[in-house]
Structure 1
Amino acid sequence: MWRFRSNRPANDNLTQFLTPAKLRLITDRAVAACDTLDGVADGVIDDPRACTADKFDVASLLCTAGDAADCLTSDQLGAARNIYQGPRNPRTKAQLYPGWPVGSESGWSGYMGSTEPVRADFWRYWVFDDPQWNWWTFDFDRDVSYAYAKIAPLVDQTSADLSAFKSRGGKLMVYHGWSDPVVSAYDSIGYYDRVLAAQGTQAALDEFYRLFLVPGMGHCSGGPGATTLRADGDAAPDPSRDILALMDRWVEQGKPPDDFVASRMAEGSVRRTRPLCAYPKQAAYRGTGDPDDAASYICR
């Protein structure tokens, strides 16, 4: 939905509000401002929530003398703000979906489309049953309500009541990239928090649910951070470094995954390792030791 709202000027089907170059500009400036908030300079914003407006404000990129490669026009600035905010119902002001974190901007362009937003066909064929449906007519009040009534019961899995799953011995382990440009990491955090509220205590939730947030990871994989979560090719992968083996150990041996070592690969070799900590804990640099070695961090 954010793509309908954010990537086109009014009555212009050819010009993209936020070009890939402008989105890369935003990400580069955000990373430059907030990279070292975690005590390490590695080209990654460890926790975008710490990259607050007093440290990086996208408004600081507003052009002062016409459009240029190193600034944003007022329309481009407005579009970026819309995406950070997330879509809202224009009548009730209700949040329809969370906004996207600072640092995810460079990935947005792949989902805006060149002549129309990516996923427009979802609305044409799934929601409206009309191949000729014009996305320009999208209404964030009327059409969202219609889609919720028609499609949500078929595809949405948003219930926070996982008591039946838990009672059967189910284990849920979720990972989400902080720089995911498709599904906001704030959505996974919001769901986790709702399940926590339903369970009542952190201890009750920890019996069966873990969330790992991956700094710098894009949509499911990739990105500039330590985003390799599998030890592919290992006959017996180390559960502390392979997310599937970690899940197997939890299910088969009852050992819960409180942390996990992710890797950054380059040319077939490991160049950096970082611990991923079960939410809400985060990896913190100890202040000494190799910043590219997971042993130099602690979960807290």
Structure 2
Amino acid sequence: MRKPLALMAFLASTTATGAFAQSGEDDCTALGTTIIESGYVHAAQVIADDGEHAPYCKVRATALPAINIEVRLPMEGWNGKYYQAGCGGFCGILGRADASPGWVNAMRPGLARGYATATSDSGHHGLSVVDAGWADSNPNAERDWGYRSIEETSRVARAMIEAFYGEAPGDAIFQGCSTGGRMAHMAAERYPEMFQGIISGAPAMNYTDLVGTAMSFFMQANTGPDGEQILKPEKVSLVQAAVMAQCDGADGTEDGLIDDPRACEVDLTELSCSEEGGDCLTADEIGVIDAWRQGPVNDAGDQLYPGGIPEGSEPFWALWLTGMEGGGGKLVNAFATGFGQYMAFADDPGAGWTPQDFDLESDPGRMEQAAALYNADDPDISAFREAGGKMIVWHGWADPIVTPYKTVEWYEAAAEAAGGEETLRENVALFMVPGVDHCGIQEGPSGITAADLDPMTPLEAWMAEGTAPQSIMAE
């Protein structure tokens, strides 16, 4: 298709290196008075070179009713493209991921490569990423967190890009992990032509079954009749050692990694004892682990969420499941509590509700309204594939909070919907990484964290050259 004359003239004005024409400091501050539909710009300022980033124009804006957005526009070397980042947990803290040195859910990877970038708080302010109080009787905020903030962030960012550079961006990439991974899948489902490349990490794509049902079940399984925790942090090292001893070689190599936890079933009877204390596990403690491995089931024996907590995830249980010996952690309980109190049901039960109140028989069916807003696990992404989109999905096999079995199940169902895995692989690449915690947050025995991963480079090559990715390990 022939390029319009205005675009041809714009391209002719670029430098010999192929960089797009740039704007100055006055152009940046002028964005602060830009009028946008159904929203407004708060401020725009130039952020100087800090040794990590070249100078960029930082814009803060709001898409009504309450989606706070940050856009970062390179002052020089813009590559003509757009990069959008998701957010983690219940979100609510604008630009949180960019306050740390990592790349997950951060604008950093895009900005470093010359992309104009943006992210949002998903439509509300929270005191932490486990704070769900914002959703209390607030369907608009739930809708925005569920899906609308993705589209609105893109809309506002594109308006700023065009106002600043005088040209709309070309290809766009979305990157997110956990809730950000859910957002990545939501983008592929609801907005199949918005992003030409998507990176989805450890996607919490079915929030109602995961955070509502499964996490409540995990907490119930570890609570005794007296209300006390059964499996405590000091016993986890015993479980970890037994699992590694029995599973490390299941893949044919003893390398301190469990390549696929489905290939190993652990027998903990050798650690059993009749009384609490000591280097052994009581029947109740073993019962907790057995329930965690199985995952939630109802009285009829129906599996309510795929699989359970995988073997090899034990090094990460303190932060997510059991709490730490010195206090802190046990974030699964915090997520399940906030979700059940304010996000899961049509009528919010409020602050008195706990995961112990979740009814595995009746409550899964009561979350249908929330599922329609939040969930993004439809395996039919034909519209995204037909638009030519490329998607990298990655997940750590040792993730104890967002069960990796769900990601595998989605991929297999997506392959069937596409007419076979060979067809699906033209647009979707799945990487299951042994020994990696949720979103690569904590370093385990493998030593691998998110810092050792780089899905961006292979995605760019796939989009530009058609070269399917073979690895996401950083070089």
Shared fold (TM-score, shorter chain, > 0.5):
yes
2:427 pairs, out of 197, 208, 215, with: 208
1:125 and 2:342 aligned:
yes
Deviates more, 1:136-145 or 1:113-122: 113-122
**1:254 and 1:205 mapped to 2: Cα distance?**
14
Per-residue deviation at 1:4?
Answer: 3.0
Q: Please tell me whether the aligned partners of residues 5 and 82 of structure 1 are also in contact (alpha carbons under 8 angstroms).
A: no
Aligned partner of 1:278 in structure 2 is: none
Q: Secondary structure at the match of 2:292?
A: helix
Aligned partner of 2:236 in structure 1 is: 23
Aligned partner of 1:282 in structure 2 is: none
2:298 pairs, out of 57, 82, 89, with: 89
Q: Please tell me whether the aligned partners of residues 177 and 216 of structure 1 are also in contact (alpha carbons under 8 angstroms).
A: yes
Aligned partner of 1:248 in structure 2 is: 460
1:9 pairs, out of 198, 210, 224, with: 224
Per-residue deviation at 1:257?
Answer: 0.8
Q: Please tell me whether the aligned partners of residues 226 and 262 of structure 1 are also in contact (alpha carbons under 8 angstroms).
A: no
Q: Please tell me whether the aligned partners of residues 230 and 244 of structure 1 are also in contact (alpha carbons under 8 angstroms).
A: no
Deviates more, 1:35-44 or 1:124-133: 35-44
Structural mapping, 1:170-181, within 5 Å: 170-181=389-400
Per-residue deviation at 1:21?
Answer: 2.1
Structure 2 alignment gaps of length 5 or more = 1-214, 324-329
Q: Please tell me whether the aligned partners of residues 340 and 354 of structure 2 are also in contact (alpha carbons under 8 angstroms).
A: no
Distance 1:256 1:111, change over 3 A: same
Per-residue deviation at 1:210?
Answer: 0.9
Structural mapping, 1:160-171, within 5 Å: 160-171=379-390
* Largest Rg, 1 or 2: 2
The AA in structure 1 aligned to 2:304 is L
2:445 pairs, out of 218, 221, 224, with: 224
1:79 and 2:288 aligned:
yes
Aligned partner of 1:35 in structure 2 is: 248
Distance 1:122 1:260, change over 3 A: closer
The AA in structure 2 aligned to 1:223 is G
The AA in structure 2 aligned to 1:122 is F
**1:11 and 1:66 mapped to 2: Cα distance?**
17
1:145 and 2:365 aligned:
yes
Structure 1 alignment gaps of length 5 or more = 232-240, 264-300
Q: Please tell me whether the aligned partners of residues 232 and 322 of structure 2 are also in contact (alpha carbons under 8 angstroms).
A: no
TM value normalised by structure 1? 0.75
**1:36 and 1:173 mapped to 2: Cα distance?**
29
Deviates more, 1:118-127 or 1:35-44: 35-44
Aligned partner of 1:49 in structure 2 is: 262
Deviates more, 1:185-194 or 1:37-46: 37-46
Q: Secondary structure at the match of 2:343?
A: helix
Q: Please tell me whether the aligned partners of residues 437 and 449 of structure 2 are also in contact (alpha carbons under 8 angstroms).
A: no
Identity of aligned residues (%): 36
**1:193 and 1:219 mapped to 2: Cα distance?**
21
**2:379 and 2:465 mapped to 1: Cα distance?**
26
**1:34 and 1:93 mapped to 2: Cα distance?**
27
Structural mapping, 1:275-294, within 5 Å: none
Distance 1:134 1:244, change over 3 A: closer
Per-residue deviation at 1:229?
Answer: 5.6
The AA in structure 1 aligned to 2:356 is W
Per-residue deviation at 1:228?
Answer: 4.6
- Summarize deviations over 1:53-76 as a string: whole Å, max 9, x none: xxx31333221x422332211111
